[in-house]
Chain A
């Protein structure tokens, strides 16, 4: 009896051996070696005890990485699962659902790296480069924003002018009968309208008038005297000018002519500030800095959802096709509305699939690397950091500290373990039932 048992054991071992060797060599040994390595110094020569683990939790960049991983785990799996469930349930009810499913699933066919490059491009700050900001600016200008004639113009330095949050004005108030000139710079010669003529001195002001000239104080090629109306300097036509009284009311308003001259009429005895309103120079809405430190993690999570919602949808849809339709029909016969059918019948029946999808996504999100590596520009890399990227950076990306890298790898392993155990339990229960 004992002998045949032992024989059975040996036969079983013989069949298991190849798999065991593979497991030991490719899974067990690397894990054990990583544990050992995490107690050694950067170049591996000296035993440093728990030092790497202490460094890991006291170092700013690792701390940000752990915090970001928490945000990822809280947001991304829930969002993907909910979206996947929505798509799966709603698409069941329409014709051509396979076509729609295919489209939603398609991002899964793109490598994470390529998806990262695409999203980086889409969310560029400059509206000339990033499609998201381009759309935002286009919508804004459709509603009348950003149509100023001279965006970006600034007053010539030391010319007695100030720039008060976009409004250009004389430093001091002037009384009627005097002159206030506006030499401006920061405009390209090409951007001056064709109607503009050579700048000219304004006519001397009458008793109730203030006159002056607004001109581009730059000669192409660099000749001319700063602050003087010279040959080759162009007047700026069509600029709105206000005379602002001490109490803030606008006493008179006008626009410049082709040579940049203006005349403000009907002024009283008091002194006025002459101002060019910001509407002349407003550069308009420039969109949002998506890739800045504050928004970068949100953008990366968005790209992740774009890719993985399709995966969740396909998994849930297959679960949906396997459930017993008669239960739903029965509920409908008993007068339940569609929401009740979904929340009381469909969702509970789907819960095993939902949990598998959710847990799989949690494991996946904890290990997130590619997107975080590709999308953020240098300035927001620290803000976007996650554990897997930090692990790679300190071990291979220039840090050459594989001790600390191993410690981070072990942290990642410990974080992933609970989800793995839940998944394994789940499979076991399913097999039992």
Chain B
């Protein structure tokens, strides 16, 4: 029978995964520079998820360190299998000297298991000098500082079609209320103010996270992430009420959101025949716009920061890669200090593809206006938090058709029932956080 196919499909997939893992383990690069600096003769192993262009650029960063220190640095990509690969290496007694982790939870786990080396006092000083407190805190686990954030992404960007904004006389809004006014101007000119692709729930959870981080602040955000406060908390009511002022306004939101995929919502705003003027998602939307090919990022495809709700200070939701060290030696410490310095990021920044959370990186080096703006929003934010749905149990924050994702889809369809939505979120969270 044909439909038995899917049963047997999973096994070869798992096999392919293992194969990919093995291959990724082999694809190490050996930069040839071996200078005559302080650490000449030392060899360091560095692992990260990056491959392709990102690998090339990161190897250039490492080459700069080789030149400065004289040590030899070998880079290995572990692809999407950070936890498995590092776990195996630690088990076998040969972890890399330094690894880049994309999940704060993994850093906390490795730190709790005693596998990570705390930053040296010198390295901590370099971090304190170059990073804002949010990033220092994110690199800290249980009171000890382990990580240096090297790469970041900004998920608080509101992308707009400048042609349509100009024609409607709309401008970049000052805050949430002004945002609704500007969207109304666009709607008056015959285009939908904003397009939302809610075929899956993750863009909607990002909406909520941004509004919540602004209205509730970083502390409550952390508590909600860890489910230390219930979803029925009044702070959640405030955020959902704010969202409802936009989502419940049929004049501003393009109809048919529930059946539109996320890429379709990009096309609705930046495609050849735009129907709406604004869409929200992270800095990666620039890639979607370029793929679509009808609009040009930096010319008619621009963005502004997620509007401030209820007068809150600039806050950014995002992600990033943190450097952690596994060995306690001077060369490793020197590399961590180097990664925390603006010089390291400035090797990669002009090549594009790196947004540095380092405050002292010269923003003039970014290759274009848009990436500079993204980076400035990131370093200028008073509060930075990781994407909440990535930090919650996946049964709650990462399952299509269930939990956080699905409840936000239902809230988009009927934003009038705030209390019911909070109760549904709380019920889903209680079920998912049991372990």
| Interfacial residues, chain A to chain B (CB-CB below 8 A) | 42-43, 61, 108, 111-112, 124-126, 152, 154, 156-157, 185-189, 191, 217-223, 289, 291-292, 360, 363-364, 367-370, 377-382, 385, 393, 396-401
Residue from A157, A218, A370, A381 in contact with B168 in the complex, judged by beta carbons closer than 8 Å: A218
Q: How far is the CA of A157 from the CA of B188 in the complex (A)?
A: 10
| Residues of B close to A42: CB separation below 8 A | 395, 434-435
- With A221-B167, A398-B395 as given contacts, are A381 and B406 in contact (CB-CB < 8 Å)? yes
Q: How far is the CA of A208 from the CA of B198 in the complex (A)?
A: 54
Whole-angstrom distance between the Cβ of B163 and the nearest chain A Cβ: 11
Say yes or no: is B258 at the interface (Cβ < 8 Å to chain A).
yes
Residue from A360, A363, A399 in contact with B395 in the complex, judged by beta carbons closer than 8 Å: A399
Closest to A396 in B: B10
CB pair B189 A364 closer than 8 Å: no
Residue from A156, A188, A385 in contact with B190 in the complex, judged by beta carbons closer than 8 Å: A188
Residue tally, chain B, CB below 8 Å to A: 44
Say yes or no: is B394 at the interface (Cβ < 8 Å to chain A).
yes
Closest to B189 in A: A218
| Residues of B close to A220: CB separation below 8 A | 167, 189
CB pair A187 B190 closer than 8 Å: yes
Q: How far is the CA of A396 from the CA of B9 in the complex (A)?
A: 13
Whole-angstrom distance between the Cβ of B73 and the nearest chain A Cβ: 36
CB pair A43 B402 closer than 8 Å: no
Closest to B273 in A: A128
Interface centre among B2, B185, B398, B409 (most CB of A within 10 A): B2
Closest to A152 in B: B190
In the complex, besides A220-B167, A370-B5, A399-B394, 16 extra interface pairs with C-beta distance below 8 angstroms are: A42-B435, A112-B3, A125-B259, A185-B189, A189-B190, A223-B169, A289-B259, A292-B259, A367-B4, A377-B199, A378-B199, A381-B400, A398-B399, A398-B400, A400-B393, A400-B395
| Interfacial residues, chain B to chain A (CB-CB below 8 A) | 1-6, 10, 166-170, 184-185, 187-191, 198-201, 251, 256, 258-261, 393-395, 398-402, 405-406, 409-410, 413, 434-435
Q: How far is the CA of A225 from the CA of B264 in the complex (A)?
A: 35
Residue from B6, B166, B169, B400 in contact with A397 in the complex, judged by beta carbons closer than 8 Å: B400
CB pair B3 A189 closer than 8 Å: no
Whole-angstrom distance between the Cβ of B12 and the nearest chain A Cβ: 15
- With A152-B190, A186-B190, A221-B167 as given contacts, are A378 and B401 in contact (CB-CB < 8 Å)? yes
Q: How far is the CA of A124 from the CA of B394 in the complex (A)?
A: 30
CB pair B406 A378 closer than 8 Å: yes
CB pair B400 A189 closer than 8 Å: no
CB pair A397 B258 closer than 8 Å: no
- With A222-B168, A377-B199, A378-B400 as given contacts, are A126 and B256 in contact (CB-CB < 8 Å)? yes
- With A378-B198, A378-B199 as given contacts, are A154 and B251 in contact (CB-CB < 8 Å)? yes
